[in-house]
Structure 1
Amino acid sequence: MKDTPKRLQHLPSWQLSQAALNGDRLVNEALGTEGVRKYHFRVLVALEDDGPLSQAELGRRLAIDRSDMAAVAAELEQRGYLARTRDEQDRRRNVVTITPAGGEALARMDEAIDGAQRALLAPLSEAERQQLTRLLARLL
């Protein structure tokens, strides 16, 4: 940050973007320890939270391009983390479901993500972390 012009360093938008880049790096590294990427994590979280979904609906909800969604689903299926079955009501659709192995992997990913969050927020006290979370929620 020392090479960044001082005027930029004082802009909240610049500070947020730099913090986001750092957070993104930490999360990517954490998920990398599990051999996955953020897309994998997002898909498993959505399936655990919302239950089985069509592959197309899952992609729409997560704003993942159709071809990327197919690739991510195939990768997760190959690892045994999700199952894809034909929808009985519409045979053109795949219904995607998290498997028990996927749930176990997601628990490990959650632990890795928690570690990344702790690293990102390490300079802050617990009260400051809670305040930052509340303030960011208001901005969003």
Structure 2
Amino acid sequence: MSVDEGIRTLLLLMPRMAGRVKRIPIPEQLRSFSLAPRHLSLLAYLLFDGPMTVNELARLLQVAPATVSLMVGDLSRQGVLERREDEQDRRRTIVSIAEQHRDAVDAWLSAGAKAWRKALEPLTPEQRRLFVETLETYEREATAEGRS
């Protein structure tokens, strides 16, 4: 496959993939919370990496802490997330998924995780690293293009 053929294929594939992600059904237990695809990354970090601070989430999501703080505030008022004081530094707040919603959040993310597992398992660790790095480079370059 030439570079141009690869570009053509990916330019046609990416919108379909984005559309499918947007159509992942939100579990019944979470439907009343006005969750959107933008919440997927925040919830995924908390599900996979465990409780963390707003600043840690902001750094991982590559957005301003104020943006994360607004999302966390909204989701904690609705009971999806819990906030607690950090025992080591009482000025910091630790954010986690509320236990009663953990299974529903896991169910929401599991379809995508299963698809990625099926795509990535046949690859060697080096191939997986190259694939992920390629997607990260695309995202970085597409973001840079939008700013120039």
TM class by smaller structure: 0.5 to 0.7
* Higher mean C-alpha deviation, range 21-30 or range 84-93: 84-93
Q: Which residue of 2 aligns with 1:123?
A: none
Q: Which residue of 2 aligns with 1:79?
A: 78
Cα deviation, residue 111, structure 1: 4.8
The code of the aligned residue for 2:85 comes to: R
Cα deviation, residue 103, structure 1: 0.7
* Higher mean C-alpha deviation, range 16-25 or range 50-59: 16-25
Cα deviation, residue 48, structure 1: 1.8
Q: What TM-score do you get using the length of structure 1 for normalisation?
A: 0.66
The answer on 1:27 being equivalent to 2:21 is yes
Cα deviation, residue 136, structure 1: 6.8
Cα deviation, residue 131, structure 1: 7.5
The code of the aligned residue for 1:18 comes to: L
Aligned match for 2:10, one of 13, 16, 25:
16
Q: Which residue of 1 aligns with 2:146?
A: none
Give the superposed CA RMSD. 3.1
Cα deviation, residue 57, structure 1: 0.7
Q: Which residue of 2 aligns with 1:138?
A: 130
Between the aligned partners of 2:14 and 2:50, the Cα distance in structure 1 is 29
Tell whether the 8 Å contact from 2:26 to 2:108 is kept in structure 1 after alignment: no
| Structure 2 residue matching 1:96: 3-state secondary structure | strand
Tell whether the 8 Å contact from 1:59 to 1:65 is kept in structure 2 after alignment: yes
The code of the aligned residue for 1:102 comes to: H
Q: What TM-score do you get using the length of structure 2 for normalisation?
A: 0.63
The code of the aligned residue for 1:138 comes to: L
Equivalent positions of 1:61-100 (< 5 A) are: 61-100=60-99
Structure 2 unaligned residues grouped into runs of 5+ = 134-148
Question: Deviation digits for residues 47-99 of structure 1, max 9, x if unmatched?
Answer: 12212111111111222322221122123212312111232333332210111
| Structure 1 residue matching 2:23: 3-state secondary structure | helix
C-alpha distance 131-30 of structure 1, shift in aligned 2 (>3 A): closer
Between the aligned partners of 1:112 and 1:131, the Cα distance in structure 2 is 14
- Could you list the structure 1 runs, at least 4 aligned residues long, displaced by more than 3 angstroms after superposition: 31-35, 111-115, 129-137
| Structure 2 residue matching 1:92: 3-state secondary structure | coil
* Higher mean C-alpha deviation, range 103-112 or range 130-139: 130-139
Q: Which residue of 1 aligns with 2:100?
A: 101
The code of the aligned residue for 1:59 comes to: A
Structure 1 unaligned residues grouped into runs of 5+ = 1-9, 119-128
Cα deviation, residue 18, structure 1: 2.8
Cα deviation, residue 46, structure 1: 1.1
Equivalent positions of 1:33-52 (< 5 A) are: 34=31, 35-52=34-51
